[in-house]
């Protein structure tokens, strides 16, 4: 059943327990609507990447569901993935391909056939990748340029939802700023964006909703607007401390 109430990403009691008994994700629920950026904050092992892997059906949930555009990802993964684009941490594309070749391959893989070189050019320009870089092999790209290329791939796929795993990790301030602007632009276009990050500052700056995770649990989720003026870092540490005490 496809969603009509503009919820594009939805986790419903999403749980992942591994065979060794470790609970990586414990009944996590949230929604991301069109035109929203949901930022998952948390340290290593918080369950952010597990959540993303469940949305992309790279692993199967132990309980609950991840839905993309209303489609349960572990039941109809191929159908669900048509509606999502993914940008990973340290975007690693095919190093021996040029930016255009990477774009062409992933666009076709995402089901966008019939795009022209001009379409790719447009996407690369939109993310701010200089002309001279379009025909260069990815192995010559800086991290920031790779990240832009990754976003261009997401743009070309033209999916309603975009999932980003630690997208600003390791970017210099300028590249981080440009990246934030790109995400805001995509939000304005009505994309539903789910992003995992360690970057509290960036999350507060661009997120519509912020969720704080630790040890597989979603400890808090509040609209970004409620957090204006609050010290998010202190709040984050406070939640962590509270969770630890409770634990």
Partner 1 sequence: MLRLIVEKEIKEILSSTKFAITFAVCSLLLLLTFYVGARNYQFSQKRYEAAVRENLRQLDGMTDWNQVNNFRIFLPPKPLASLVSGISNDIGRTTDVRGGSDNSAYDSFFGNDPVYAVFRFLDLDFVFQVLLSLFAILFAFDAVTGEKERGTLRLNFSNPLPRKTFILGKLLGFMAGFIVPLIIPLLLGCFLMQFMGIAFSGAEQLRLLLIMVTGILYLSVFLLLAIFFSTKNTQSSTAFLYSVGVWVLAVMIFPRLSVAASEMFVTVPPLEQINAKKARLSAQLWEEDRVAMTNFKNTPTTDMQAIMKEFGSFMDTQAQNRENKMQDLNNRLFEERDNMQGIQQTTAFTLGSLSPSTSFSLAAAQLAGTSLALETHFRDAMKAYKNVFNEFFYEKTGRRMSGGMRIQISTGDDEKKKPINPAEMPVFVYNEPQLAEMLPGVLIKIAVLIAMGALLFGAAYYSFTKYDLR
Q: How far is the CB of 68 from partner 1 (least distance, A)?
A: 11
Q: Which is nearer to partner 1, 55 or 236 (CB)?
A: 55
Residue 136 interacts with partner 1 (CB under 8 A)?
Answer: no
As given in the structure block, the two tokens for residue 176 are 């981080």
DSSP per-residue letters across 172-217 = -HHHHHHHHHHHHHHHHTT-EEEEEES-HHHHHHH-SEEEEEETTE
As given in the structure block, the two tokens for residue 225 are 């607007």
Distance CA 140, CA 116 (A): 24
Residue 18 interacts with partner 1 (CB under 8 A)?
Answer: no
Q: What would you report as the CA-atom Rg of the chain, rounded to the nearest whole angstrom? A: 18
Q: How far is the CB of 56 from partner 1 (least distance, A)?
A: 5
Residue 22 interacts with partner 1 (CB under 8 A)?
Answer: no
Q: Which is nearer to partner 1, 24 or 235 (CB)?
A: 24
Task: Choose which of 62, 90, 169, 208 interacts with partner 1 (CB under 8 A).
Answer: 90
- SS3 state of residue 85: strand
As given in the structure block, the two tokens for residue 131 are 């002309």
Q: Strand 63-68 relative to strand 71-72: parallel, antiparallel, unpaired?
A: antiparallel
Q: How far is the CB of 226 from partner 1 (least distance, A)?
A: 31
Residue 15 interacts with partner 1 (CB under 8 A)?
Answer: no
Distance CA 110, CA 154 (A): 9
Task: Choose which of 38, 86, 141, 236 interacts with partner 1 (CB under 8 A).
Answer: 86
Q: Which residues pair with 33 in a beta bridge?
A: 7
Yes or no: say if 17 and 24 are a contact pair by the CB < 8 Å rule: yes
Q: How far is the CB of 87 from partner 1 (least distance, A)?
A: 9
Please name the helix (run of DSSP H) or strand (run of DSSP E) that holds residue 236, with its range, or none: helix 232-246
Residue 88 interacts with partner 1 (CB under 8 A)?
Answer: yes
Task: Choose which of 75, 108, 117, 181 interacts with partner 1 (CB under 8 A).
Answer: 108
Residue 53 interacts with partner 1 (CB under 8 A)?
Answer: yes
Residue 81 interacts with partner 1 (CB under 8 A)?
Answer: yes
Binding range to partner 1, per CB under 8 A, among 4-12, 102-110, 122-130, 189-197:
102-110
As given in the structure block, the two tokens for residue 168 are 């600003």
Applying CB under 8 A, which residues contact partner 1? 49, 53, 56-59, 77-79, 81-82, 84-86, 88-97, 101, 105-106, 108-111, 137, 153, 157, 163
């Amino acid at each position: 059943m496809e969603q009509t109430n503009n919820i594009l990403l939805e986790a419903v009691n999403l749980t992942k327990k591994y065979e060794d008994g470790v609970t990586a994700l414990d009944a996590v629920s949230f929604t991301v609507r069109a035109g929203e950026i949901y930022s998952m904050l948390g340290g290593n092992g918080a369950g952010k990447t597990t959540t993303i892997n469940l949305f992309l059906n790279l692993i199967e949930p132990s309980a609950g569901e991840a839905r993309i555009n209303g489609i349960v990802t572990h039941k109809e993964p191929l159908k669900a993935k048509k509606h999502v684009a993914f940008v990973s941490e340290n975007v690693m594309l095919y190093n021996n391909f040029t930016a255009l070749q990477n774009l062409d391959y992933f666009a076709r893989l995402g089901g966008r056939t019939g795009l022209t070189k001009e379409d790719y050019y447009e996407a690369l320009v939109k993310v701010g990748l200089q002309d001279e870089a379009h025909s260069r092999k990815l192995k010559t790209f800086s991290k920031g340029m790779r990240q832009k290329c990754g976003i261009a791939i997401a743009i070309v796929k033209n999916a309603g939802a975009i999932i980003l795993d630690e997208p600003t990790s390791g970017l210099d301030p300028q590249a981080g700023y440009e990246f934030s602007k790109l995400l805001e632009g995509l939000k304005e276009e009505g994309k539903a964006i789910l992003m995992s990050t360690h970057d509290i500052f960036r999350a507060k700056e661009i997120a519509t909703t912020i969720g704080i995770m630790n040890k597989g649990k979603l400890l808090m989720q509040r609209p970004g607007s409620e957090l204006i003026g609050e010290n998010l870092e202190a709040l984050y540490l406070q939640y962590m401390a509270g969770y630890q005490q409770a634990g």
